[in-house]
Structure 1
Amino acid sequence: MRTPAEQAALAADFDDARRSPQVFADFTFPWYTGAILRQPVKQQTKDFIRTTAAAGLSAMGVTALRRWQQARDPRVTILTYHGISARNFERHLQWLTAHYHIVSLAEAVQWVGGNDRDESRRVVLTFDDGYKSFHHDLWPLLRKYGTPATLFAVSHLVGTDQLLWWDLIDVMIARAKMRAVEVQGQRWKCDSGILVAHAKTLPEDDKLRWITELRTALTIDLPRSGGTPFELCTWDELRELGADPLVTIGGHTCTHPILAQVSKHVAQAEITEGRAILQNNLQLPVNFFCYPNGRTTDFTAEHVKLVQDAGFDCAVTTVEDLCAKGSDPYRL
């Protein structure tokens, strides 16, 4: 686990940036690519709100809790993290282990499709993208509390110094220190949240060209992940994680395109090859998939079928919903 000084050093380069919630917002549910709650909280809601507010949770989460609280039949909560500080994650674990039964994604899928009517309040912890901080900072806490989790890795980026595209925008904006920039004839405020949101609306090839032109306009060299909070796990780190019974490695495509913005052929390759690469390098089964971005507009029934055909047992989304008996295991 990194020391506070090491964590501060990693963040120092980005103090002037408007930081993306992908890593720096410690846990908001729901947010546009963030954490999902699908479990009604039937008691101790006020304590939960106080605890989560102290950890930086969004007001939207409080509203959602009130709605989940009204559900009466059993549910499973799937929480999606991207990045979180070790300090805040431990606070979450302390509260969750006191009030919920934290189960693996495999156990949750079995419960959803089975006849077990046990009404225990179950929670699943998932982490998208395969950030190195999971290995260095969060995995020790999972072992400390004996809690399982699933980490979804982007196969082509494992062991590289490349940045995921939204992190690339964050780093470029932080380092350029400009107030505004013109890209493709349009003037943009240098706010990574605004720029990332726009990029998500573009078809994949157009998005990559737009980001390249953004970098040119910012007049900076192509940033690499080294020395940033956005480093991704190496293959050795993933193997180490995969050897722990508490950690399950899942598929998250090869390069993290939004599936609805690429051709069927490309989507199929991203899904199937991403799984094969992980399995070949880890020598482990990869049975769970996570849709990139994961909103209802980001994948279709065709993509669900591709995930099934690739051999995955389930797939998770970022769609705010309640996960109950009979839920579609490929739209959790």
Structure 2
Amino acid sequence: MSAKYAAIRAMFEALWLSRLPGLIRTLSSSRGVIFTLHRVLPEEPADFSPNAILQVRPDFLDYVIERVRDLDLDIVSLDEALERLAAPQPGRRFIVLTFDDAYKDNLRHALPILRRHDAPFTLYVPTALVDGVGQLWWQAIEDIITRQDAIAMTSDGQTDYVDTSTTVRKNAAFNTLYWQMRKMPEPDRVALVRSFATAYGYDLDRQCRDLIMDWQELRLFAGDPLCTIGAHTVHHYELAKLPIEQARSEMAQSVDILLAQFGQRPAHFSYPLGGPLSADQREFDLARELGFRSAVTTRPGGLYARHAASPHALPRVSLNGYFQSRRYVDVFATGAIFSAMGKLTG
């Protein structure tokens, strides 16, 4: 675990031991929290699993739902959350469950839990991934590094061979390659991922089909009355890195595709990756112009009455796979803590 996450864990431990989250929830004007989830998997991650941050166990999801209700928090849909934010007086505090990317494991492992608890949720769908032709590039580079003792990394036309024979070295190589790709224009990143995968015999399209629901599976998932389908672009590109017309097209086309598939226009949107490097005021304005009722980021924070006037830049709290301890759920459910963290880091 990195020094950053070790520091966060220490803070969570201190908050839990102090019993402060309950007092903060009582005194804070935060009305609710939107949780971000991606994958739900029963298997423990391997020693080298940099994307384990994106996965939680089914038993942890089960406990989260039970615990937030024990804390007298309602689990509501996004539409109801927006209504509660717009109400002149604060009502009961609430939690919203959201899942990004339409992973198959959501259907296998999350949906039965959500049904058992009668817990509404939103699933944000990147349509090219459901078509089986997108790039889950963050997972691809992990998979390739996992099975290699050395990799070739190219930067500025120079190729270096990097030792990846140990977990420490694998993590270092992943971080270097990940941030190299994050800083690239999207066409360059797409090309680099494709060439990197080809060099190591990695089938990106098969990976996409293996990990992401197809349309038949997604229709089964979306057919549950607890489910709200939201848009998540076509290709899962970082919108802030695209020319404005391409960014608008990514958003608008995803709406058109989901409307054609399900007969209903999605009212809610999630910005891919969702941090300040990926979505900012230009993208918030696009979401508003395209008629979305809400759009969520991955910027940490709770929901306040003021968010009713800016529903296209909603914060979320990630149910981080590195912090699957039951005693931390009280911290996760306290939006004001993450609002303060966002101010310190933002």
The answer to whether the 8 Å contact 1:183/1:214 transfers is no
The answer to whether the 8 Å contact 2:126/2:232 transfers is yes
The answer to whether the 8 Å contact 2:197/2:204 transfers is no
The answer to whether the 8 Å contact 1:163/1:225 transfers is no
Q: Following the alignment from structure 1 to structure 2, what is the Cα–Cα distance between the partners of residues 122 and 179?
A: 48
Compute the displacement of 1:94 (Å).
2.2
Inter-CA distance 238–215: structure 2 relative to 1 (3 Å threshold): closer
In the TM superposition, 1:226-265 aligns within 5 A as 231-265=211-245
Q: Following the alignment from structure 1 to structure 2, what is the Cα–Cα distance between the partners of residues 329 and 301?
A: 12
Residue type at the aligned position of 1:172: I
Determine whether 1:82 maps to 2:54.
no
Q: Following the alignment from structure 2 to structure 1, what is the Cα–Cα distance between the partners of residues 247 and 11?
A: 32
Residue type at the aligned position of 1:220: G
Q: Following the alignment from structure 1 to structure 2, what is the Cα–Cα distance between the partners of residues 203 and 249?
A: 29
Q: Following the alignment from structure 1 to structure 2, what is the Cα–Cα distance between the partners of residues 156 and 274?
A: 9
Q: Report what 1:178 is aligned to.
A: 149
Inter-CA distance 150–190: structure 2 relative to 1 (3 Å threshold): same
Inter-CA distance 95–293: structure 2 relative to 1 (3 Å threshold): same
Compute the displacement of 1:109 (Å).
1.3
The answer to whether the 8 Å contact 2:268/2:292 transfers is yes
Partner of 1:274, secondary structure, is: helix
- Superposed CA deviations along residues 279-312 of structure 1, whole A, max 9, x for unmatched, are 1111123100001111123223221121112221
TM-score normalised by structure 1 residue count: 0.74
Compute the displacement of 1:164 (Å).
1.4
Inter-CA distance 273–224: structure 2 relative to 1 (3 Å threshold): closer
The answer to whether the 8 Å contact 1:288/1:313 transfers is yes
- Superposed CA deviations along residues 24-53 of structure 1, whole A, max 9, x for unmatched, are xxxxxx98xxxxxxxxxxxxxxxxxxxxxx
The answer to whether the 8 Å contact 2:275/2:297 transfers is yes
The answer to whether the 8 Å contact 1:131/1:231 transfers is yes
- Superposed CA deviations along residues 254-286 of structure 1, whole A, max 9, x for unmatched, are 001101111111101000001110111111231
Residue type at the aligned position of 1:133: D
The farther-off stretch of 65-74 and 181-190 is 65-74
Compute the displacement of 1:116 (Å).
4.0
The answer to whether the 8 Å contact 2:102/2:126 transfers is yes
Residue type at the aligned position of 1:124: V
The answer to whether the 8 Å contact 2:134/2:235 transfers is no
Q: Report what 1:110 is aligned to.
A: 83
Q: Unpaired segments of 5 or more residues in structure 1? A: 1-17, 19-29, 32-56
In the TM superposition, 1:13-92 aligns within 5 A as 58-59=9-10, 61=12, 69=24, 72-83=28-39, 84-92=56-64
Q: Following the alignment from structure 2 to structure 1, what is the Cα–Cα distance between the partners of residues 208 and 245?
A: 36
The answer to whether the 8 Å contact 2:107/2:221 transfers is yes
Compute the displacement of 1:63 (Å).
7.0
Q: Following the alignment from structure 2 to structure 1, what is the Cα–Cα distance between the partners of residues 234 and 207?
A: 20
Residue type at the aligned position of 2:66: Q
Determine whether 1:141 maps to 2:113.
yes
Q: Report what 2:98 is aligned to.
A: 126
Inter-CA distance 87–243: structure 2 relative to 1 (3 Å threshold): same
Q: Following the alignment from structure 1 to structure 2, what is the Cα–Cα distance between the partners of residues 261 and 329?
A: 22
The farther-off stretch of 233-242 and 103-112 is 233-242
The answer to whether the 8 Å contact 1:76/1:121 transfers is yes
Partner of 1:158, secondary structure, is: helix
Inter-CA distance 133–296: structure 2 relative to 1 (3 Å threshold): same
Q: Return the structure number with greater relative CO, CA threshold 8 A, min gap 6.
A: 2
Q: Report what 1:167 is aligned to.
A: 139
Identity of paired residues, percent?
Answer: 26
How big is the alpha-carbon RMSD for the aligned residues of Structure 1 and Structure 2? 2.8
Q: Following the alignment from structure 1 to structure 2, what is the Cα–Cα distance between the partners of residues 308 and 63?
A: 40
Q: Report what 1:322 is aligned to.
A: 302
Compute the displacement of 1:117 (Å).
1.9
Partner of 2:211, secondary structure, is: coil
Compute the displacement of 1:246 (Å).
0.6
Q: Report what 1:219 is aligned to.
A: 200
Q: Following the alignment from structure 1 to structure 2, what is the Cα–Cα distance between the partners of residues 254 and 151?
A: 14
Inter-CA distance 62–115: structure 2 relative to 1 (3 Å threshold): farther
Partner of 2:305, secondary structure, is: coil
Q: Unpaired segments of 5 or more residues in structure 2? A: 40-55, 163-168, 315-346
Inter-CA distance 128–204: structure 2 relative to 1 (3 Å threshold): same
Partner of 1:127, secondary structure, is: strand
The answer to whether the 8 Å contact 1:238/1:282 transfers is no
The answer to whether the 8 Å contact 2:134/2:208 transfers is no
Q: Report what 1:5 is aligned to.
A: none
The farther-off stretch of 232-241 and 179-188 is 179-188
Compute the displacement of 1:220 (Å).
2.0
